Structure 1
Amino acid sequence: MASGSAMTEPYGREGLPLEQARAQILEALQPLGLEETLPLTQALGRTTAAPVVAAAAVPGFRASIMDGYAIAGAAQPEPGQQWRLVGASAAGAPYGRALVAGEAVRILTGAVVPEGSERVLPQELVAREGDQLTLVKPSGPNGWIRQPSEEAAPGQELVPAGQRLGVADLGRLASCGVQQLRVTRRPRLGLLISGDELLPPGVERGPGQIWESNSALLTALLQRLGFAVADQRVVVDQPEPLRAALQELAQGCDVVVSTGGVSAGDSDWIRPLVEELGAVRFWKLFLKPGRPFAWGQVAGVPFFGLPGNPVAAAITALQLLWPALQRLEGAELQLLPRLKVRLEAPLRRGAGRPELARAQLAVAADGGLWARIEGTQASSRIGSLQGADLLLEIPAELGALEAGTELWAQLLRLSVF
């Protein structure tokens, strides 16, 4: 990102709408383009640097789907038809020759179906006396055979480039013999927390002091999203130590993130220092919570100035920092899925700014989806994030909302597979 003059009021007092802010940030960023090789067991949540293809067919042989009997031929048999049992095929111990008419082998689930057989009869359909088998129930059209390329054919793409690897991806890759793969390197993130009033948790508070929580909140949020903080500083609101911290973080990291200090107060030094060391592209979001947000660069490194209030910091990190980190990593962009819900109870609010309200998802007996809001929505109250399943998207023009109001919501729960 090239340096340039700061744009301190490009969108007036209200700030930049969230969607426009996200688009502007993503347009300015390019993937870092750095790669590393990891064993499959360490690749969960990482992003593929290149397509992964199957080296061979999987399972690679015709396998039985049922415990039963592999019979010679391909025709669908009729009740009363008989075969002579000539051997057995178990997983890892296949029968050694092809079947001829009138022959059958005992076969177990996952075992190789012998040549000369196109059908497995489930054991509950067959009566056995010694080595004599008799079909006693209709067999139906299913042959109960898994084909050699059912999971993958040779050269088939298993995972495309730019895909974040999930549990199912790793399971499938392992089943196809993949032991290691190339992934993109995650961005190194530097976190700067500023404030004269901040104390580490566990230290006795003095007048006007608070325990610092943004570092714990953001570090945990980023870990949940698959990213880690490489360097972290908690610095007083003084220009010289803040300038030094910004410069050091920019030198050692791929992204610099701060909380607080980007508004227009007497002790808000971060924004002017970023303007001095690089550029501020915009500051202020047309959003609640999250208005005091800055985006730009420090010494050529992308910079995100999050609000100081913890809830606002977490919400803007989720909406803007997370997509940016995905872009830098080279991953296919994933935003939170959206669904429609109804308010379980009335919500008092004033019109003016769009809001992302924290809520729990309640499912009614009839399957209806409802949003339950408990406590205040103050951007300083971390309790509003506890147990939250949803971010309710409340349009700017809506004031007080009645119970039953239908709204779009972003689903916060992450996928399992």
Structure 2
Amino acid sequence: MTDPYPKEGLPLDHARQLILQSLQPRSLSESLPLPECLGRSLAEAIHAPEAVPGFRASIMDGYAIAGSEQPELGEAWQLVGRSAAGAPFLGTLQPGQAVRVLTGALVPEGSGRVLPQELVEASDQQLRLIKACGANPWIRSVDEETAAGGVLAESGLRLGVAEVARLASCGIQHCRVFSKPRVGLLISGDELLPPGQPRQLGEIWESNSTLLRGLLERLGYGVAVQRVVGDQPEPLRQALLALAEGCDVVVSTGGVSAGDTDWIRPLVAELGEVRFWKLFLKPGRPLAWGMVAGTPFFGLPGNPVAAAVTALQLLWPALQRLEGGQVELLPRLRVALEQPLRRGAGRPELARASLVVAEDGRLLARVAGSQASSRIGSLSGADLLLEIPAELGSLEAGTELWAQLLRLPIF
């Protein structure tokens, strides 16, 4: 059996694989109005009730002419009506007839072609082609968006703006989506004070809860229950048990290392199981994963940047798996360092950087300021997490690296 606590810690990919393999989707779902489904994962596939647009529609303002053959210059037709959006021409065109048609309006039966208005001359109910037309008929098909019964979205898909808008355009009003897992957050530390309270020497204002709540909300989740507890074993034990009973995931920050007051890890081992401890990663080495009374547990590092980075790498995929949708990681791209980066070899690192486009179009990574895991400012304006292999020391400008893209997609 693999040692669950290797001296240097588990590699990130190995840790993620172990976590995801041990979790099963909760398979709980709910039906919600479509606007409330943005960012949610579908619990069942959605099929189109009808074809969309459901009728042949004009792609531009012009004239629908009888027949489908490409007309010759000078050919003429008799204008017999008008078809507009919401006010269609319902007759059937006979040879030699045409109707005025506007963008998006129904193309009547008997017509297989729309002539753009700039190619024709219309007067006294007569239409004449004055400029040569191409082969494009300028007609949108009955099922351009979807055929009746077509799959609009597969089960497990996380709905973005584009997907929700498409479903609306196909007449969908409600979706069955997976219920979000409830996250219980435990912040531990004797030195912690609420922001705004006067500090004594050695005390700090507590920010991890604000950081993690905001991060999880941006990722489409949230925190159901939160507790801030000092470094005392019995209150921490009670808090862990209460969160495990009422939530689907327990997340803590701090207290998982090997200090005299790091009680979280031994308490988790007492109340359940610590399946691994320590990551081979910078920032984020002191991380514990296991179970508390049968509930998945993440013991994130106490330093805020390390907590945020490991939450992105391990907690976020786990929440996706528990929810029941597809597990999606941050997209990756190749970038070059804009300036030299000094570091010591030994552990792989996820360094925070901003994305810059050079004058020649190259994508560059700009690393500014300290990369200390206690410095929240290193997250501000970060577009990238640079993936620096363990064996690399200081890096020259222009060095190419893989990077994880932090900015969320719009659509």
Q: Give the TM interval when normalised to the shorter protein.
A: over 0.9
Q: Partners in 1 of 2:405 and 2:105 — Cα distance?
A: 43
Residue 303, structure 1, aligned to residue 300, structure 2:
no
What SS does the corresponding residue of 1:362 show, helix, strand or coil? strand
Residues 234-273 of structure 1: matches in 2 within 5 Å?
234-273=228-267
Q: Determine the structure 2 residue equivalent to 1:4.
A: none
| 1:35 matched to 2:39 | no
Q: What is the alpha-carbon distance in structure 1 between the residues aligned to residue 361 and residue 340 of structure 2?
A: 21
CA distance in 2, matches of 1:11, 1:328: 25
Q: Deviations over 1:32-86 (max 9, x none)?
A: 1100000001000000000000011001010111111000011000110000101
CA distance in 1: counterparts of 2:5 and 2:234, whole angstroms:
30
What is the aligned partner in structure 2 of residue 403 from structure 1?
A: 397
1:84 to 74, 78, 84: 78
RMSD of Structure 2 on Structure 1 (CA): 1.0
Residue 387 of structure 1 corresponds to: 381
From 12, 32, 47, the equivalent of 1:53 is: 47
Q: TM-score, normalised by structure 2?
A: 0.99
Could you say which residue in structure 2 is the equivalent of 1:161? 155
Tell me, yes or no, if the aligned pair for 1:8 and 1:280 is still in contact at 8 Å.
no
- Where do 5+ consecutive residues of structure 2 fail to align? none
Matched, 1:25 2:9: no
Which residue of structure 1 aligns with residue 9 of structure 2?
A: 15
User: Among the aligned pairs, what percent are the same residue?
Assistant: 72
- Structure 1 CA distance for aligned equivalents of residues 28 and 6 of structure 2: 38
User: Which residue of the partner structure matches residue 207 of structure 1?
Assistant: 201
2:305 counterpart of 1:315 = no
Corresponding position: 1:338 with 2:332? yes
- One-letter amino acid of the structure 2 residue matched with residue 55 of structure 1: P
* Whole-angstrom CA distance in 2 between matches of 1:79 and 1:170: 45
Q: CA deviation at 1:96?
A: 2.3
Structure 1's consecutive aligned runs of 4 or more residues displaced over 3 angstroms after TM superposition are: none
Contact 1:32 / 1:330 at 8 angstroms: preserved in 2?
yes
Query: How far off is 1:296 after superposition?
Result: 0.3
- Pairing of 1:126-145 with structure 2 (within 5 A): 126-145=120-139
Size of the aligned set, in residue pairs, is 411
Residue aligning to 1:217: 211
Deviations 1:363-390 (A, max 9, x none): 0111101110100000000000000000
Q: Secondary structure at the match of 2:218?
A: helix
Answering whether residue 38 of structure 2 is matched by residue 44 of structure 1, we say: yes
Deviations 1:266-296 (A, max 9, x none): 0000000001111000000000000000000
2:324 is the counterpart of 1:350:
no
Deviation at 1:10, TM superposition (A): 2.8
- Which residue matches 1:227? 221
- The reply on whether 1:102 has 2:96 as its aligned counterpart is yes
2:409 to 387, 403, 415: 415
Match of residue 329 from structure 1: 323
Contact 1:359-1:392 within 8 A present in 2 as well: yes
